[in-house]
Structure 1
Amino acid sequence: MHALSVPTWMIHISSVIEWIAAIWLIWRYGEVTGKRYWWALSAGMLPALVSAMCACTWHYFDNPTSLEWLVTLQAAMTVVGNCTLCAGAWWVWRQAGSRPNSSPSN
């Protein structure tokens, strides 16, 4: 647990808590508004949360070589999370009908 300073731990932990809160708030927004397509964005945020938890776990145990697989899992979850967030955002955009106006032809 000595691998990171106290302020750095505070940032790591608060970021994870904020991410959990954001997932929950987006999910609730979908429920309250009846626009369940927001759930796609909320679900798309989960792999990024797993990535953050992998980093915190690895640092908590002082970055041992026996847990280096967590670094690989973190990297994989970051890639998956970026893709699922992109897909979730696209789904919200598509369902909300926020297509850009087509420019007039000259």
Structure 2
Amino acid sequence: MTLLSIPTWMIHIASVTEWIIAIWLVWTYAEVSKRNYWKVLSFAMLPSLASAACACIWHFFDNLPSLDWLVTIQATLTLLGNSTLCLAGRHIFRHSTSQSIAKPNTELSKLS
């Protein structure tokens, strides 16, 4: 565990921690707002979290050449995570626009 400095480890750990918190916050938002279609985003964030875990594990073991396969898995999970996040954004957009079309804004209709 000597290759990375303490501040760099702090950033790595903070990034993973805030990603976990973000997943939890998105899930909580879906529950509180009754917009369950947002839960898809929580699941879509998991490959990126796993990717970060792979990077931390690889660095923890001083970037051992025998663990180079973790780099490949990390890159694959990053690609998968970016793709699932994109699809989750599309899913949220479709559901939010279909609900706004189904339920016109009553505040705007009161103004006219």
Structure 1 residues 10-33: Cα deviation after superposition (integer angstroms, max 9, x where no partner):
000000000000000001110111
Is the counterpart of residue 76 in structure 1 residue 61 in structure 2? Answer: no
- State the 4+ residue runs in structure 1 displaced beyond 6 angstroms: none
Structure 1 residues 66-95: Cα deviation after superposition (integer angstroms, max 9, x where no partner):
111100000000000000000011111110
CA distance in 2 between counterparts of 1:3 and 1:39 reads 37
Q: How many residues align?
A: 98
RMSD, aligned α-carbons: 0.9
Length-normalised TM-score, structure 2: 0.86
Structure 1 residues 22-80: Cα deviation after superposition (integer angstroms, max 9, x where no partner):
00000111011110000111110000000000000000000001111100000000000
What secondary structure is seen at the aligned counterpart in 1 of 2:3?
Answer: coil
What secondary structure is seen at the aligned counterpart in 2 of 1:68?
Answer: helix
Is the counterpart of residue 4 in structure 1 residue 10 in structure 2? Answer: no
Is the counterpart of residue 32 in structure 1 residue 21 in structure 2? Answer: no
The one-letter code matched in structure 1 to 2:47 is P
Q: State the percentage of identical aligned residues.
A: 58
- Tell which has more relative contact order, 1 or 2 (C-alpha 8 A, sep 6+): 1
CA drift at 1:3: 1.1
2:54: which partner in 1? Answer: 54
2:90: which partner in 1? Answer: 90
CA distance in 1 between counterparts of 2:55 and 2:37 reads 30
Give the number of the structure whose residues are more often helix, by fraction. Answer: 2
CA distance in 1 between counterparts of 2:75 and 2:15 reads 17
Length-normalised TM-score, structure 1: 0.90
Which structure 1 segments of 5+ residues have no match? Answer: 99-106
1:103: which partner in 2? Answer: none
Which structure 2 segments of 5+ residues have no match? Answer: 99-112
